[in-house]
Amino acid sequence: MNSEEIEKLYRGSIKELYTLYSKASKDDILNWMNSRPSAEMKFVEVEGDKEIVVVIPTANAFGEFASHVKKLYKGLQIIFVESNGPLFNYARSVNAGIKEAIKYKPRWIVISNDDIIRIESIEKLKDELSTVSNVELVMASKSDYHTYNVLIINPKDWFIKGMRAFGKIANLAPAKVYGEILKYRGKLGVKYITIIQKMVPFSKYIGKGIVTLNCGSFAIVKPKENLMDPTFINSHEDLLLSLSYKHEIINFKLKEKKGASLGFGELRFAKIFVNEIYFNYLIEKNRIRLDDLVIGD
């Protein structure tokens, strides 16, 4: 299947996405992901303290979300990276924003969603960061949508079948969609899947894998270009970032709206699955190392 055909199916209905996974090969999908063009991006900046620069991907730099988050980060230099449409790519927006932020020679760069509801004070953020050393990645206090545990697991067959059945009965989008697409896991090269740990309280029984911490929707990084892998399409780039750098968690709390940008419906999780394919490819090529399977039989 060529990239044009895949792109058309990827932008289509849930039925068309299921067709994509049933008909396309792993190599077809990986080639398409690597060759996707970038959406247009533009920067909208708010002047402030340049020791800490905030990079915020957004669909509308003058919209409701951006206007609210601008007030939360008041006093800091803010770079909104405005981009939207079917080719929007979170990692590319973040990388572009970080490249722009580096011009100011900041000590730290905050990567933030635009759907933040509230944060602790900027002074608290500065105080917490003043004690951090010898790490390139800083995470906020643990929450449901940032700084949370993720399973990277090779699930047993009974669990996949159970996902599909339970997802349909309970109308639980991620279980329903993943259970359906994982019928093709062999030809798609998907040995491991990623699951938020709190969604599976009996994780030690479902297969072998690891538990790791994901920065999620909020991260603070040392200035460095190309921190996120732009092959990912709006998922898993934060997980790879979290696996790639030594981190520290600071006592800094924030709250955001869940699913405000991409939603939590079946279409979202069907689109996300392409990233499971690429994530497994990185494991296969030893760009992600899972040497110690610390959970499961």
The residue ranges of every structural domain in the chain are 3-36+149-212+265-284, 42-141+217-256
Greater confidence (44 vs 144) lies with 44
Q: Over the chain, what is the mean pLDDT?
A: 93
Cα 287 to Cα 174: distance, rounded to the nearest angstrom: 26
Q: What is the pLDDT of residue 169?
A: 86
Q: For residue range 248-283, what is the model confidence (pLDDT) as tens digits?
A: 999 999 998 865 555 678 999 999 999 999 999 999
Global pTM exceeds 0.85: yes
The pair of three-digit structure tokens given for residue 133, joined into one six-digit string: 């050393």
* Burial class, 221, CB count within 10 angstroms (exposed 0-12 / middle 13-18 / buried 19+): buried
Please report which confidence band the pLDDT of residue 205 belongs to, taking 50, 70 and 90 as the band edges: confident
Q: Residue 64 CB: number of other CB atoms within 10 A? A: 10
pLDDT in tens, 168-202: 888 888 899 999 999 999 999 999 999 999 888 78
Is the separation of the CB atoms in 107 and 221 below 8 Å?
A: no
Please give the pLDDT value at position 289.
82
- Complete DSSP assignment for the chain: --HHHHHHHHTS-HHHHHHHHHHS-HHHHHHHHHHPPPPP-EEEEE--EEEEEEEEEES-TTSHHHHHHHHHTTTEEEEEEE--STT--HHHHHHHHHHHHHTT--SEEEEE-S-EEEE--HHHHHHHHTT--S-SEEE-S--SSEEEEEEEEEE-HHHHHHHHHHHHHHT-HHHHHHHHHGGGHHHHT---EEEEGGG-TTGGGSEEEEEEEEEETEEEE-S-S--S-TTS-SSSHHHHHHHHS-EEE-S--EEE-TTTTT-SSHHHHHHHHHHHHHHHHHHHTTSS------B--
| Residue bearing tokens 């709390």 | 253
Assess whether pLDDT exceeds 60 at residue 66. yes
pLDDT at residue number 228: 97
Which CATH architecture describes the domain 42-141+217-256? Alpha-Beta Complex (3.90)
CA distance 9 to 3: 10
pLDDT, residue 50, reads 97
pLDDT value of position 96: 98
Characterise 275 by phi-psi region: left (phi > 0), alpha (psi -120 to 50), beta (else): alpha
Query: Which pLDDT band, with edges at 50, 70 and 90, does 13 fall under?
Result: very high
Give the rounded percent of residues in the chain with a pLDDT score beyond 90.
81
Q: CA-CA distance, 182 to 193, in Å (whole number)?
A: 9
Rounded Cα gap, residues 179 and 181, in angstroms? 6
The answer to whether 177 and 267 have CB atoms below 8 angstroms apart is no
CB-based contacts of 55, cutoff 8 Å, min separation 6 = 79, 81, 94, 97, 98, 100, 101, 109, 110, 111, 112
